[in-house]
Each structure stands twice: as C-alpha cells, then as structure tokens.
C-alpha cells in the first residue's frame, strides 16, 4: 500500500538518535505534543531500550505536577472552610504537613493510575487492531504510548497554573467578585478539554503508525551472493578441451 511504502523513511525520535539529555528530552516532548500526527507519521516502530526510561521520566514529572496541584487545591479547601493561619496553635506546621501529605498522596495515585491505564489501553488497542485487521501489535502500541504519555506534562502544568492562580486570588483577593463555584467550573471544563485532547492525539498517533512496516530480521534480509568462480581444475579442464584450443 502507499501508506506502507511511505513509511520506509521512518526514524527514531530525537532522544534515541542523539542520546539522552535534557535538551533531547525537551525537544522530543515538544515534537510529540506540538505535532503528534507528523511526529508519529515518521516514527520508527522498532523497540528501543530508552523508550521505557522516557516514559518513566514523563510519568514522574507529570505525577509530581499533579501532586503539587492537589496540595494547593487542598490548601484552597482549607481556606474555603475558614481554617487559616492563626486559627489554632502551630497551625503553620499543620498546614505544611497536610499540604505535603496531599502532594505525596496525589502524586502516588496519579502515577499508579497512569501506569494501570497505560497497560489497559495497550491491551484493548491491540485487541481492537486485530478485530479490524489493523497492524497494531501490542509492542507497537506500547512504544507509541511510551512517547504519547508526554502529553500529560503540559496537562499537569496547566492544571497547576489554574489551581495556583485561584489560590493566590483567594488568599490575596487580587480579583474580587470571582466566586469559588467559577473556579470549580473552570477546573471541570479543563478536565474535559484535557481528556478530549488526550483521546484525539492518541487516535491520531495510532493512525500514523497503523501502516508502519516492521524492520526485516537480519536472517531474512536478501544477501548478495558472491559470483561462483570455477576452481583451478575446472579452468584447466576447460583450457585443454579441444573446442577451446586454437586451431
């Protein structure tokens, strides 16, 4: 097919071609997030040892950002119910402990949920691929997920920005007249937008690698056979044959 023929020029992502560094990680994440279809359209599907490390790095970073968002959201809840500094003795230590505990709890929950969801998505995508006759084997799906998971980093960062701005506004009353219900509406709307974005980019990535050709194993590659040369005795026999002797 034409799609398969065009997939012959697929290449690994930047972080696999140039080695692991902060620059290559950032460039790879930007390429995946900003241009998901074009990135996976030229994405090599052969497994690479670094793909798991990239996945862990993105999961840990996004989990920490989500955890920090959860801690700040818990701080806003305490403010909303009227529990602020000075209400009780040693209230600052209590606040710090509650917020830090919430950060760790949310980070752990997000990490576990992300890990389990990735396994389930890879499993069901492979089943659906076999049902419809698509070339979406589980190892290919897992490789795509290892890099598509980078979308969680900007999602978690934007979540942190929304929660932080609301908390600062609540404590300092920078913008008066904004009711807490508007903040919850904005947070729920962002959850829906982020879920739609994740789903659409994932479907786009799967379509981009659907017709990717697998690299041919070395034992199946056609090798140029050397031209067989007649041995010395055969050449000598041919030279003394009457038909080959000069008249």
What would the pLDDT profile of 144-201 be if each residue is shown by its tens digit?
999 999 999 999 999 999 999 988 888 776 666 677 888 999 999 999 999 999 999 9
Q: Model's pTM, two decimal places?
A: 0.78
Estimate the crossing angle of helix 91-132 against helix 138-148, to 10 degrees: 150
**Residue 107 domain-assigned?**
yes
Which residues form the domain of 94? 2-242
For residues 205-222, give the mean pLDDT: 67
pLDDT tens digits for range 23-67: 999 999 999 999 888 888 888 888 888 899 999 999 999 999 999
Q: What are phi and psi of 217, to 5 degrees?
A: -60, 150
Total domains, the chain:
1
**Residue 247 domain-assigned?**
no
**Residue 177 domain-assigned?**
yes
Closest CA to 200 of 36, 14, 25: 36
What is the SS3 assignment for 11? strand
Q: Is the pLDDT of residue 240 over 90?
A: no
Closest CA to 189 of 215, 166, 159, 219: 159
The pLDDT mean for the chain works out to 80
């Amino acid at each position: 097919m034409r799609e398969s023929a065009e997939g012959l020029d697929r290449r690994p992502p930047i972080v696999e071609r140039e080695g692991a560094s902060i620059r290559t990680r950032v460039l790879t994440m930007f390429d995946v997030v900003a241009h998901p279809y074009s990135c996976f359209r030229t994405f090599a599907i052969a497994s690479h040892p670094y793909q798991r490390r990239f996945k862990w790095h993105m999961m840990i970073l996004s989990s920490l950002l989500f955890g920090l968002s959860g801690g700040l959201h818990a701080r806003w809840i305490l403010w909303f119910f009227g529990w602020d500094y000075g209400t009780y003795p040693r209230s600052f230590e209590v606040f710090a402990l509650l917020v830090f505990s919430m950060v760790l709890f949310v980070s752990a929950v997000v990490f576990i949920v992300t890990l389990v969801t990735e396994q389930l998505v890879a499993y069901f995508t492979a089943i659906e691929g076999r049902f419809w006759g698509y070339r979406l084997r589980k190892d290919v799906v897992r490789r795509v997920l290892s890099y598509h998971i980078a979308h969680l980093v900007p999602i978690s960062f934007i979540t942190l920005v929304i929660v932080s701005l609301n908390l600062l506004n609540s404590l300092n009353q920078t913008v008066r007249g904004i009711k807490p219900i508007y903040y919850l509406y904005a947070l729920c709307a962002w959850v829906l937008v982020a879920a739609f974005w994740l789903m659409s980019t994932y479907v786009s990535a799967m379509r981009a690698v659907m017709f990717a050709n697998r690299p041919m194993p070395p034992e199946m590659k056609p090798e140029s056979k050397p031209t067989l040369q007649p041995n010395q005795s055969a050449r000598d026999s041919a030279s003394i044959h009457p038909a080959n002797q000069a008249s």
